[in-house]
Structure 1
Amino acid sequence: MQANSINRAAINWVDFKKNLLAEASGAKTIEQAYPAVVFAIVALGDKHSFFVPARPVKGPELPTPKQPPIYLDEPVPGDIGYIRIPWVVGSQEKLDAYITSVQAQIKERDKRELKGWLVDLRGNMGGNMWPMLVVAGPILGEDTLGYFFDSNNIKTAWRYEKGKALLDGDVQAETANYYTLKSAQPVVAVLTDTLTASSGEAVAVAFKARKHTRSFGAGTCGVSTCNSSFYLSDGSIIWLTTAVLADRRLVPYGHSIAPDEPLKPTEVVPRAVRWIREEYKAKK
């Protein structure tokens, strides 16, 4: 934590260690020390780090994760493309199936006469950002999409290129049969809400500063940061927040991402559709 936490420069590590050891003072086994690990993670104050114990622990210290809500696709007019990019986490098989499914929806809904696309990130609570960038890639276009700034302010770039999501040039996720839109560089409206979090926020950042793009809805959750995994001796994992997301202009976030147009939920899609048509006309 002291070497890698995004908040490491703001923490008094002498006091931090003293408080942590006091919290763990009664532990006689590794499992009894789990609550102290959780205590330390909360004390970091980044609101994104979390602990995955090797063995289940009962008690209030380790709350059961809430099940994410299910969002249905929005009906849109025939001249507007629509894609929901949902959260995803899991095995390579599951990630590959996710890419295949979402990309198939884009291919099915793509028409040359579309005026633009609605990219719906509402309810995307995160998980693995790389498959999300692969499926968003045909709409985003090939480009550097954003950066990570770590606790030493060192930046690494992430981009989309020919069905591949790349980090500093290394492939993180890919699809061999990638899709290319019938109309390049489309007008795009990005929809966000307070449940758009973590990797969902990374996709929102990827669309920042893209030409002919505007965001609508509510500010995101506020964990536009990156976690790295650190394994402990018993196989438990600390997912530690080690970097802040920055957009293609190198503007850093790390907080809630405000939409260009804050709107009530019922206003979001009608206003986004109207803007796409206006922007398409102006672009022509």
Structure 2
Amino acid sequence: MTRAVFSSALAALSLVAISPAVRAQEQAQEDPKEYLESAFELLESYHINRNEADWAALRDAARALTAQAHSPADTHAALRAVIVALDEKHSYLVPPRKPRKTISAATNAKPPLPPMPEGKRLEGEIGYVAIPSLTTVQGREQVGVQYRDTLQSLLKDLDKNASCGWIIDLRKNFGGNMWPMLNGLDPLLGDGPFGYFVGLEEKSAWVRTFQGISASTANAKSEPSPSFKLQNSSRPIAVLIGEQTTSSGEMVAIALIGLTNSKSFGKPSANFTTAVRPFPLSDGAVLGITSSQVAFASGELVKGAIEPDVLVEDEAQEEAAGWLEEQCRTTRA
């Protein structure tokens, strides 16, 4: 981190105001000083720039600005300024979810589900799949299972009409939880490893285990077969990316682009190609800490935005379909 960035972040930190709090809700909450220190311990232990940060200066500034804090919520603005001072854009602090109003049983209403994967058959025996964002923090963990199952069912349904290949559209994937996405795509990903997290002290591979696809430092080789089979799993894959392909959307793109039978189309991605670990805090907030860089299956580090193989402004899907049809004609000739 440069001295200029650090100084400007501290200047911003000095302007942070403590927000008003609802005192009746604060009585059972953690002491704000302890809360602030717990967050600092997580950042100092896991942040990718931890060796460059001036932790003493950051602590002094944050403590001074939160000296009158009455609740953890009164420290949130200061913590966000500390994140800025760490000089990378992927870490975050999400406030606690507001409790939902009681819903009358007569309405039979349920919380809305996030967007699920969608797909369709395209001309030329091509299966098209759009993979949206997925948030599974703060009580939404079970949604990931539904997302994975929806994606798997979609691939199975499209498989019989995908003899010329697949288009995987990540252009509106703003991130979230990458694992239901990869587990949903399981048979299209090959043998693995599918990519890597590269931290300061260790490197973990994205591998297939009997429990599903996940990151492992102990085993850099995928052992079991995919969790389900597709007749056309080895057909070419066209990957669509763009300016809104962010974070976990970029992770999925990295796994697919690392395959020998894939080609990417569209615009450069959003450049959040680092890994974030979410840590729940005592008040229900979530502190996401950027903890590692990311690498392709080849081991090559991803530096910045993902650049597509074919730069296309507005007709990425058409270009991708044309490439798949050409591959299909070549293999059938």
TM-score between the two structures when normalised by the length of structure 2: 0.71
Counterpart in 2 of 1:80? Answer: 126
1:60-75 matches, cutoff 5 A: none
Query: In the alignment, which of 75, 86, 92 is matched to residue 44 of structure 1?
Result: 86
Q: Give the root-mean-square deviation of aligned CA atoms.
A: 2.8
Confirm whether residue 245 of structure 1 aligns to residue 294 of structure 2.
Answer: yes
What's the CA shift for 1:183?
2.7
The separation in 1 between residues aligned to 2:232 and 2:120, in whole angstroms, is 22
Cα-to-partner distance string for 1:125-146 (whole Å, 9 max, x where unaligned)? 1111111001111222232101
Counterpart in 1 of 2:166? Answer: 117
Counterpart in 2 of 1:149? Answer: 198
Counterpart in 1 of 2:212? Answer: 164
Secondary structure of the structure 2 residue equivalent to 1:144: coil
Counterpart in 2 of 1:280? Answer: 328
Counterpart in 2 of 1:9? Answer: 51
Confirm whether residue 133 of structure 1 aligns to residue 182 of structure 2.
Answer: yes
The separation in 2 between residues aligned to 1:55 and 1:107, in whole angstroms, is 36
The separation in 2 between residues aligned to 1:69 and 1:134, in whole angstroms, is 17
Cα-to-partner distance string for 1:175-207 (whole Å, 9 max, x where unaligned)? xx9431213421110001111111111101101
Task: Give identity over the alignment, percent.
Answer: 31
TM-score between the two structures when normalised by the length of structure 1: 0.82
The separation in 2 between residues aligned to 1:163 and 1:279, in whole angstroms, is 34
What's the CA shift for 1:45?
2.4
1:94-243 matches, cutoff 5 A: 94-111=143-160, 114-152=163-201, 154-160=202-208, 164-168=212-216, 178-243=227-292
Structure 2: tracts of 5 or more residues without a match: 1-42, 99-113, 220-225
What's the CA shift for 1:71?
9.8
**Cα distance change of structure 1 residues 9 and 100 upon mapping to structure 2, 3 Å threshold:** same
Query: In the alignment, which of 56, 73, 77 is matched to residue 31 of structure 1?
Result: 73
Secondary structure of the structure 1 residue equivalent to 2:185: helix
Counterpart AA for 2:127:
G
**Cα distance change of structure 1 residues 74 and 192 upon mapping to structure 2, 3 Å threshold:** farther
Report if the CA contact (8 A) 2:165-2:232 is conserved.
no
Q: Which range is displaced more, 75-84 or 122-131?
A: 75-84
Counting matched residue pairs gives 266
**Cα distance change of structure 1 residues 72 and 102 upon mapping to structure 2, 3 Å threshold:** closer
Structure showing the higher strand proportion among its residues? 1
The separation in 2 between residues aligned to 1:25 and 1:96, in whole angstroms, is 43
Q: Which range is displaced more, 253-262 or 130-139?
A: 253-262
The separation in 2 between residues aligned to 1:208 and 1:141, in whole angstroms, is 12
- Greater radius of gyration (CA): 2
Structure with more contact order per residue of length (Cα contacts < 8 Å, sep ≥ 6): 1
Q: Which range is displaced more, 23-32 or 209-218?
A: 23-32
Report if the CA contact (8 A) 2:118-2:129 is conserved.
no
What's the CA shift for 1:276?
1.3
**Cα distance change of structure 1 residues 26 and 262 upon mapping to structure 2, 3 Å threshold:** farther
The separation in 1 between residues aligned to 2:280 and 2:213, in whole angstroms, is 25
**Cα distance change of structure 1 residues 70 and 23 upon mapping to structure 2, 3 Å threshold:** farther
**Cα distance change of structure 1 residues 229 and 183 upon mapping to structure 2, 3 Å threshold:** closer
**Cα distance change of structure 1 residues 70 and 100 upon mapping to structure 2, 3 Å threshold:** closer
**Cα distance change of structure 1 residues 233 and 181 upon mapping to structure 2, 3 Å threshold:** closer
The separation in 1 between residues aligned to 2:215 and 2:170, in whole angstroms, is 22
Counterpart AA for 1:166:
S
Counterpart in 1 of 2:317? Answer: 269
Counterpart AA for 1:7:
N
The separation in 1 between residues aligned to 2:273 and 2:63, in whole angstroms, is 30
